[in-house]
A and B are shown apart, each in its own frame.
Chain A
Amino acid sequence: MKHAVFRRMLALVLALCALAPLCAPVFAAQEAFTDPILAAMKQPMVLGSSTFEYEGVTFNRILIPRYVLERYETSEYEILPGQSDERVKTVKKALYSNDNYPDNEFVAYTQMRAGEPVETYFDDHLAALLETIYRFCGLPEKTACLDELTMYLLSCLPALSGDMRHDIEAMYKYDLTKSGTYGTVARSGKTDDLYYFAQTDPGWAGEIFEFEGNGATLKDRGCGCACAAMVFSTYHKVEITPRWMRTYALQDNYPVSYGLPNEYFEGIARYYKYLEYERYGTTLEAPNIYKKDEVDMSLLADQVGNKGYLAIIHVLKGAFTSHEHYMVLCGYTSIDGKGYFLVADPYVLQSRYRDWDQLRTTDTGNDGLIYATPEVLYRDMKSIILFEQDRNAFPLFCRTKTWEPLTSDRS
């Protein structure tokens, strides 16, 4: 008896499932009946412009027929910047994929660290990228959100030419540079507003970086790798992690007893001067190395604070370390009438600091950043590796020759 009832219920469910597909085509037809007719129209585009101006550069548009845009006028959902959602994770994963975008960094590693809150967090960099895409698609007034229209635009992105994807990425990175918001994203989803990498980051802290078989790791001796990663990422505007810098250091046999010599920074800058030249037109010149007695802290403050230079400071035992250490000087500002360098310390452990009368904490939530006076830095300094280039310079140019249609067909 029970089996008979079960069989009847099963049959009823299957019958209902069979009826459902019969209904779907009816609704689909009503929505899209005129679309194929409009899609087949042959008159040439002669009105308006296929280009738009941005920051003095002429870019080619991505063209979307109006009837396609209006298909997505309403959306069943809308996720805003600052919110967390699984759809954000899906979008980030697709934008990060090397299969989809082998030549683009639309989403960077720190924006989607697996298992961290940032993975599902709609961060400001993603918002900036979406608004760039909207601009290309003739939707400059649209503010960043994940809705059905945005998902449709993103689904068509892989089908665009490499040149068009380059133009989108270049404008996006230019916007971040201009607003001073470029850089890594913290695990919480908050932007760091600079490229910051810690040698103590669990992502690579345990990787072997030994000297003469001492079993040391990046956490132990990787301050030079982390500082190089910060500097290289800043000038090339892509995330280059300490893991990568470690690889170069090992292949060219740079490690020394205390970590890396100053010459490592010269060597790696020279070797990878044109690392992202083809993508962005950026280059990184080799730094100049100044010994302590050659350094003028007032001049350095002006160079770092106003000219956009970056400096890696080699310090000895003192306020920051009990041995030797590299840190990045990435800003200069006045607090309560006193000048402070913004120091990016790759070893995150503020409890080890001394001379707190010479230091100030930041309100960024990043314990790897600390303000330090020129006096305490000069006192502990051994040398300065100065990259004499404006970190806020980023060339903006258009690579495409003509407009492109937005289509889901992969080219």
Chain B
Amino acid sequence: MERRRKQTPGRFLRRNKPYFLLALTLVLLTAAVIFGVRIVRELHTPAQPSVPASAQEPVTPAQPETEPEQSPDSSEQQPEPEPDEPAFPGTTVYLADGRLRAVYNPDALRMDSSTEGLDSFLPVTDGQLARIDVQKLNTSRELLKSAELERICIGAVQAYYYAAPATEDVTVTVLENSDDIYDAQLLAPAYNGAPEVTARVRLLQLNGALWCLSAIYPDGEDCAALQQTFDSISVRTEETP
């Protein structure tokens, strides 16, 4: 009678190693497919709509232009104006749940928040193409390299076109590139019936979200009021009323 060899766990594993390997491979394959499908779906899912930014706080009246008279003997000091106060009179509005502040001249510009997730400033004069738009992007500054930030700025300008000029034809001048701000001036050539356009795009990192402030100044249009408003957009401090 043959003596049967004792079946130890180690011997069992050695004898069936290929089958264990095969089973493990199948498990890995399944996991990889599930993971891969999730990644691809994530990439192709449209970005979530940004939080509605049209939560304007009540508009504060324009600051009075005249300053109170100073008594020659008064020892009181007049309060210094805040360094970030706009140099033009206007109406202050709060964008982005009150996190961003802008000042605009209601005689020259009007505000439009009819598109969900977008705050816009437009000239009161009909027929002008110049405008400012403010929206929240579904990404964050730390996820983006400089080249991608530049691409987003160009894309923000291209989005204004029915048929946009090529990316390589848009000239970009970076004005500021910090952890919280990416600011660029762009120049798009005349294309498809549109004039040459100077644009500004500022990407602001604010409370975990990236905000896109974009302005287009088509050649031949008076954009002084818009430019002042664009420059006035800033992060609201706690002290600002």
Contact = CB atoms under 8 A, between A and B. Distances in A.
Grouping DSSP codes into helix (H, G, I), strand (E, B) and loop, the A interface class, with mixed when no group exceeds half, is: helix
Contacts of B148: 33-34
Contacts of A66: 155, 158, 161, 164-167
A7 to B, nearest CB: 4
B197 interface: yes
Nearest to B138: A40
Interface of B: 18-19, 21-22, 25-26, 28-29, 32-33, 35-36, 39-40, 43-47, 49-50, 115, 117-118, 120, 129, 131, 133, 135, 137-139, 144, 148, 151-152, 155-156, 158-167, 191-194, 197, 212, 214, 216, 218
Contact of B167 (A11, A22, A70): A70
Given A7-B18, A34-B151, A37-B47, A48 B166 contact: no
A14 B25 contact: yes
A39 B155 CA distance: 9
A1 interface: no
Contact of B192 (A7, A37, A41, A49): A49
Contact of A15 (B25, B45, B160): B25
27 contacts: A11-B22, A14-B25, A18-B28, A25-B35, A32-B43, A36-B45, A37-B152, A37-B155, A38-B158, A40-B46, A40-B50, A40-B137, A41-B156, A41-B159, A42-B133, A43-B214, A47-B197, A48-B163, A49-B163, A49-B192, A65-B159, A66-B155, A66-B158, A67-B155, A138-B163, A138-B192, A403-B162
**Chain B CB within 10 Å — which of A19, A25, A47, A48 has the most?**
A47
A61 B193 CA distance: 14
Q: Which 6 A-B pairs have the closest CB atoms?
A: A25-B39, A40-B47, A7-B18, A48-B192, A18-B29, A47-B194
A57 interface: no
Contacts of A299: none
Nearest to B29: A18
A259 B151 CA distance: 70
Contact of B36 (A8, A22, A40): A22
A43 B163 contact: no
Contacts of A4: 18
Contacts of B212: 41
**Chain A CB within 10 Å — which of B26, B40, B46, B155 has the most?**
B155
**Chain A CB within 10 Å — which of B28, B152, B163 has the most?**
B163
Nearest to A64: B163
**Chain A CB within 10 Å — which of B39, B46, B152 has the most?**
B39
A178 B164 CA distance: 31
Given A7-B18, A49-B192, A37 B137 contact: yes
A223 B214 CA distance: 69
Nearest to B191: A48
Given A33-B148, A48-B191, A70-B166, A43 B161 contact: no
A38 B47 CA distance: 9
A138 B161 CA distance: 12
Interface in A29-79: 29, 32-34, 36-50, 61, 63, 65-67, 70
Given A24-B36, A29-B39, A40-B138, 17 more contacts: A10-B22, A11-B22, A14-B26, A19-B28, A22-B36, A34-B155, A37-B155, A39-B47, A40-B47, A40-B50, A43-B133, A43-B135, A44-B160, A45-B162, A48-B192, A70-B167, A138-B163
Nearest to B143: A33
Contact of A48 (B115, B118, B131, B194): B194
Interface in A242-264: none
B219 to A, nearest CB: 11
A335 interface: no
B159 A43 contact: yes
A202 interface: no
A28 B47 contact: no
Contacts of B137: 37, 40-41
A224 to B, nearest CB: 51
Given A15-B25, A24-B36, A47-B218, A42 B117 contact: yes
